Chain A
Amino acid sequence: ETGVTQSPTHLIKTRGQQVTLRCSSQSGHNTVSWYQQALGQGPQFIFQYYREEENGRGNFPPRFSGLQFPNYSSELNVNALELDDSALYLCASSLAPQGDYGYTFGSGTRLTVV
């Protein structure tokens, strides 16, 4: 049983650019949640995808968008990057949106915006 895989592990982008982060969910999990973790802070919920539809969104602007594919993998897209978008982006998969059986987290993508 594989866990959650995120790619890339690190990347550096320039302000104003666009970025796509990828997440492969754990085998059998149909739900993917994305979190942003700024340095020295706890993760903040961005949004969740369940069966290819957005199923809840945190307080993030529309330039943060996502997709979930039929195999339940997911992408997080951020347009018009700002310096404050520099953070660790964590993906978590679960058997159901409520995560009653637990969330499995990936090791994250460290995004630096310069």
Chain B
Amino acid sequence: AQTVTQSQPEMSVQEAETVTLSCTYDTSESDYYLFWYKQPPSRQMILVIRQEAYKQQNATENRFSVNFQKAAKSFSLKISDSQLGDAAMYFCAYRSVLYGNKLVFGAGTILRVKS
């Protein structure tokens, strides 16, 4: 079974600075998808960024980028120019291509942004 581990329960960053959230996963599959979701106090899960395992290039969405290291099974999220609105719980998630009807989530990292 696949597992996702987020080793940082909580992180803090100064407004306008850069922060990196860590995620590792375990799988025997070669093809899969990885995601970062943001959950603000409103509780709604919002997709931040998505990476397909067969793509070498790291995904980027505006201020958000990932460092995907397939051999190391690592998938970190970098947030540049942090804003107060980035404060939330961040979840790393895995989805199999073969058995792709569910997301497997990590335990989450709380991100606090200081002004």
A residues within 8 Å of B by Cβ? 33, 35, 40-45, 48, 50, 55-56, 58, 88, 90, 92, 97-99, 102-103, 105-108
Q: Cβ of A40: which chain B residues have Cβ within 8 Å of it? A: 107-108
Tell me the bound Cα distance from A97 to B108 in angstroms: 24
Beyond A105-B45, A107-B42, whether A45 also contacts B108 by CB under 8 A is no
Set of chain B residues within 8 Å of A41, measured between Cβ atoms? 107-108
Asked whether, in the complex, the Cβ of B44 is within 8 Å of the Cβ of A55, the reply is: no
Of chain B, the residue at the smallest CB distance from A94 is B101
Tell me if B103 and A98 are in contact (CB < 8 A).
Answer: no
**Contacts A42-B106, A99-B95: A33 and B44 contacting too (C-beta < 8 A)?**
no
Asked if residues A55 and B43 are in contact (CB atoms below 8 Å), the reply is no
The CA of A45 and the CA of B101, in the complex, are separated in Å by: 10
What's the Cα separation between A99 and B101 when bound, in Å?
7
Restricting to B58-115, which residues have a CB under 8 Å from any CB of A? 91, 93, 95, 97, 99-108
User: Are A48 and B107 in contact (CB-based, < 8 A)?
Assistant: no
Closest residue to B106 on the A side, CB-wise?
Answer: A42
Question: Does B47 reach chain A (CB closer than 8 Å)?
Answer: yes
**B45 with A48: CB separation less than 8 A:** no
23 contacts between A and B (CB under 8 A): A33-B102, A35-B103, A40-B108, A42-B4, A42-B106, A43-B91, A43-B105, A44-B105, A45-B103, A55-B101, A56-B99, A56-B102, A58-B102, A90-B43, A97-B100, A98-B101, A99-B95, A99-B101, A99-B103, A103-B103, A106-B44, A107-B44, A108-B43
**Residues of B contacting A55 with CB < 8 Å?**
101
The 10 closest A-B pairs by CB, nearest first: A42-B105, A105-B45, A98-B100, A45-B102, A56-B101, A97-B101, A107-B44, A108-B43, A107-B43, A43-B105
**B99 (CB) vs chain A CBs: closest residue:** A56
